[in-house]
Amino acid sequence: MAEPADVHFLKAAASLTPSGTRPPPGPLTAERALELFDAQLGSRHLDLAARLLRSRGEGYYTIGSAGHEGNAAVAAALRPDDPALLHYRSGAFFLERARQARERDAGRYARDGGPDDPPRDPLRDVLLGLVAAADEPIAGGRHKVFGSRPLHVIPQTSTIASHLPRALGVAFAIERAARLGARAPWPRDAVAVCGFGDASANHSTAAGAVNAAVHCGHLGLPMPLLLVCEDNGLGISVRTPPGWIEAAYGSRPGLAYFAADGCDLAGAYAASVRAADWVRAHRRPAFLHLRTVRLMGHAGSDVESAYRGAAEIAADLAADPLLGTARLLVDLGAATGEEIVGLYEAKRAAVLAAAEEVVKAPRLASAAEVMAPIPVPRRRRPEAPKASAASEPVTVAQALNRTLGELLDERPGMLVFGEDVARKGGVYGVTRGLLKRAGGARVFDTILDEQSILGLALGLGLAGMLPVPEIQYLAYLHNAADQIRGEAATLPFFSAGRYRNPMVVRVAGYAYQEGFGGHFHNDNAVAALRDIPGLVIASPARPDDAAGTLRACADAAADDGLVCVVLEPIALYHVRDLHEEGDGGWLAPLPGAATPIGSARTYGTGRDLAIVTFANGLRMSLRAARRLERRGVACRVLDLRWLAPLPAADLLREAHATGAVLVADETRRTGGVSEAVLAALADGGFRGRAARVTSEDSFIPLGDAARHVLLSEEAIEDAALALLAGHTGIR
């Protein structure tokens, strides 16, 4: 079935004649208009080809750019080395960016090969994504995305507004990297551009990112961010009220506002040039409101007539940006109506010819191929301990503080930031003194917005630095979990490993705080992190392990680009004793070396029972094991230390050594860590006795009521006795 947009354009273009009115002078020349028209034509025919391929069962993605082709003007106003995080309707932008790069690098690749992955045929590359071909050059057939490392287009999926915090981070990182001497992939005067739709502008993630950008500008911090809202008035079928985007963003202090009709190429180009030049000169955020139309529906499966009237659809067809550019070219004397039709059909033929080729391309053929870009921690040889300034026994908080200081000394590109981390030194003193030690460019406070904190990390990591953001409490992370799940962890997957997101996220978490707290200060929900592919999760309990796992995460992030989370047990930050007051049993010297990722630690050699635990559970289990020993039960305690990857080999070793395993899990029974431990035992062929004791499936209340729902030493002891009943000489 013919697409109305296709039929309407051909009919209208064929009848075009000069209007007799010369377009007003502006920055867009006839030559540049022809170049941008070529990008617009390519984008339109990619959309038409996507529908054709889907109808034949050979394509998988039909969300197109039809009606948004005016974004070619935005690309034309920027440089090919300006980092771009694109809206999923940015086909014309992508094609124009590729043309710019080819023009800039003419002869360069023939001479010396240029950088990695030199620009190829962008039409064919997009088509490879539509058919999920394995040799698609950015995602490798894993998703259809606009992305290219040599074009400085950072791949984004179609998640709503989730890329705006990263765009904030990229803009922040441009100047900060130059200031710190980091080897960023963008020049110091670069502009970060971020595209999104009018419906996305209403999302809390977008609102938070815009607020953070304006806040940075208010503080005088460089924030060269161009926000481009492509406003077609619809979020699938939900209408954006007329005038809403301008009302919401048009007069916000600290945010320069520019507007244009995206169906008028000359006007869109002039406004884009003004906006881009303003951001480049002032290093402050700007908002470009590009009014567009949406042609061919939201996607191939969308029946627009179910929620839009015929007159409204016809009005959008009449406002087709391709037709607007065709009229401009005719009035400029650059082409006739007949020549416009010829250009249109020539582009159709080129795209369809490429489409017939890509359908023959190989697809991903196995789980291993699909999962190849998901990072796996390297097996590292144990390090020789480094000389440490602190050899005396310290607490967990002191170990973290001193290790962070040493890492800042060793790694000039490392930055520590978050709520209260600089002047105050952290709510629990973990970052005290680091501001004085490393300076305000590397240790700084942020606004109270976890999405923006992680967005800064997402941008700083791409700029070649090592971000170490702090999330003040585990419950606060849930406000921004998608920045780790949907942005950080997916980037290597959707770029076939060409992009990495190095970062170490420190999170104060778990329960057992005395005197106050409740759910938000005693959160023990870790399931949202544990199921993210490729994420490394450290969960240290003792001071030496806190230092060692932090070092290991810093190494893995900096050297291998991994995303790491360190879950720090708040209740153990300042603990000094283990069994009796004054015994100093919870103090330890800094190890001076990294703790191998995925390695557990065993305490004791008992042959009756292995208690498997982590974090606060370690201290409780060691205390329970001492009491069990008095009752004739010889225990060993295994501290997992890592929740991902789980130390399965160490777990199975200790399980087979005792024949009985009790998992002491301070997280919840449903969705907690114990489920994974028992599954690992079963998968590893363990046939001995196994049980678990956990906290209840409850939120954590305030005060002493928390004891009713949290794991306790007494519960561990009782569960051990129940598991071993009839098998040992228990007294």
CA distance 327 to 319: 11
> How buried is residue 629: exposed, middle or buried, by Cβ count under 10 Å (0-12/13-18/19+)?
middle
User: Is 249 in contact with 289 (CB distance < 8 Å)?
Assistant: yes
User: Is 609 in contact with 658 (CB distance < 8 Å)?
Assistant: yes
**Strand pairing class (503-509; 635-639):** unpaired
> How would you write 592-608 as a 3-class SS string?
CCCCCCCCCEEECCCCC
**Strand pairing class (609-613; 635-639):** parallel
CA distance 410 to 488: 25
Q: Side by side, which strands form the sheet with 642-644?
A: 443-445, 414-418, 466-471, 503-509, 563-569, 536-538, 642-644
Q: Is the bond preceding 645 in cis, omega lying within 30 degrees of 0?
A: yes
CA 310 centroid distance within chain: 40
**Is residue 199 within a helix (H) or strand (E), and if so which, with residue range?**
none
- Rg over alpha carbons for the chain, rounded to the nearest Å, is 29
Cβ neighbours, 10 Å, residue 214: 19
Burial 277-298, CB ≥16 within 10 A → b, else e: ebbbeebbbbbbbbbbbbbbbb
> How buried is residue 451: exposed, middle or buried, by Cβ count under 10 Å (0-12/13-18/19+)?
buried
User: Is 477 in contact with 197 (CB distance < 8 Å)?
Assistant: no
Q: Is 417 helix (H, G, I), strand (E, B) or coil?
A: strand
Question: Between vectors from CA 178 to CA 94 and to CA 174, what angle results, nearest 5°?
Answer: 30
**Is residue 716 within a helix (H) or strand (E), and if so which, with residue range?**
helix 713-724
Q: Known catalytic residues?
A: 521
Q: Which two tokens stand for residue 229?
A: 């809202």
User: Is 199 in contact with 238 (CB distance < 8 Å)?
Assistant: yes
Q: Is 503 helix (H, G, I), strand (E, B) or coil?
A: strand
DSSP state letter for 487: I
**Strand pairing class (286-291; 225-231):** parallel
Identity at 451, one-letter amino acid code: Q
Distances in Å between the alpha carbon of 379 and those of 371, 441, 588, 595, 645? 18, 33, 26, 11, 12
Rounded-to-5 percentages of helix, strand, coil across the chain: 45, 15, 40
> How would you write 130-193 as a 3-class SS string?
HCCECCCCCCCCCCCCEEECCCCEEEECCCCCCCHHHHHHHHHHHHHHHHHCCCCCCCCCCCEE
User: Is 629 in contact with 606 (CB distance < 8 Å)?
Assistant: yes
Non-local (6+) Cβ contacts of 577 within 8 A are 583, 584, 585, 586
CA distance 82 to 79: 5
